[in-house]
């Protein structure tokens, strides 16, 4: 299957992508991983991306599209893939259609993880990270530490990352509404959109998505 996963920041795309890709035996292709891999390997596209990022600029569509194309042409993606974070806007969605058509392929579904805006803010702004080990993550509401501000695992200080503040989250949501949300209408017009309520246990959301894909 060839699937695109969309949804606002904080919808749980990364978590769901990993579970769905495993259940469907297809690679999970995330733009974050693509950028990191290309930059660390020093590819031509990676060098271009790094130059823009170092200057504080957005990476142009053609660089992102080039990275995605290279990755989708790898042997493990021949039988399908799950795209997470790409396409990010309508021009990228159009480029993806052209790429797939050139190979005689098409998307099977676009899964839209739906979460209320206030819930997104609550999820992200409530995160607390351990200063000693960033893999130790807590949440003031959903997974609070035993002692406020102290990591259960190692006793390190818990803090809120700057990009997890409510103001930053609201700004990220605004960018999502402006740039990414239009692709929902784009795919709806193609009859590919499947909306999945993303509230509740991770396993419940995965089951909803798998049931929707079977239909």
Tell me if residue 128 is catalytic.
no
Tell me if residue 106 is catalytic.
no
**What is the full DSSP assignment across 33-75?**
HHHHHHHHHT-HHHHHHHHHHHTTPPPPHHHHHHHHHHHHTSG
Rg (CA), the chain: 18
CB burial of 124-133 (b: ≥16 within 10 Å; e: otherwise) equals bbbbbbbeee
* Catalytic option among 69, 170, 172, 188: 172
CA distance 180 to 8: 9
* Catalytic option among 71, 88, 122, 208: 88
* Catalytic option among 2, 122, 127, 208: 127
CA distance 212 to 51: 41
Q: Is residue 197 helix, strand or coil?
A: strand
Tell me if residue 172 is catalytic.
yes
* Catalytic option among 22, 36, 47, 161: 161
- Is residue 52 within 8 A of residue 45, CB to CB? The reply is no
Q: Is residue 107 helix, strand or coil?
A: coil
CA distance 84 to 29: 6
In the chain the first and final C-alpha atoms are separated, in Å, by 13
- Quote the longest CA-to-CA distance of the chain: 57
* Catalytic option among 13, 122, 123, 208: 13
Residues marked as catalytic:
13, 88, 127, 161, 172
């Amino acid at each position: 299957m060839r699937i695109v996963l969309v949804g606002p920041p904080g919808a749980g795309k990364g978590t769901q992508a990993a579970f769905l890709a495993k259940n469907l035996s297809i690679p999970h292709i995330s733009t974050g991983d693509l950028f990191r891999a290309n930059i660390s390997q020093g590819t031509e596209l990676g060098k271009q991306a790094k130059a823009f990022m170092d200057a504080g600029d957005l990476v142009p569509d053609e660089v992102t599209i080039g990275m995605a194309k290279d990755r989708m042409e790898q042997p493990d993606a021949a039988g399908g893939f799950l795209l997470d974070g790409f396409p990010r806007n309508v021009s990228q969605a159009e480029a993806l259609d052209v790429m797939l058509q050139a190979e005689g392929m098409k998307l099977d579904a676009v899964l839209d993880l739906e979460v209320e805006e206030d819930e997104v803010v609550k999820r992200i702004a409530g995160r607390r990270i351990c200063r000693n080990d960033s893999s130790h993550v807590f949440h003031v509401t959903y997974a609070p530490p035993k002692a406020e501000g102290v990591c259960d695992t190692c006793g390190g200080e818990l803090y809120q990352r700057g990009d997890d503040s409510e103001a930053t989250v609201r700004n990220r949501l605004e960018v999502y509404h402006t740039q990414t949300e239009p692709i929902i209408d784009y795919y709806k017009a193609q009859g590919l959109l499947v909306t999945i309520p993303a509230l509740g246990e991770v396993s419940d959301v995965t089951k909803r998505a798998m049931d929707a894909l079977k239909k």
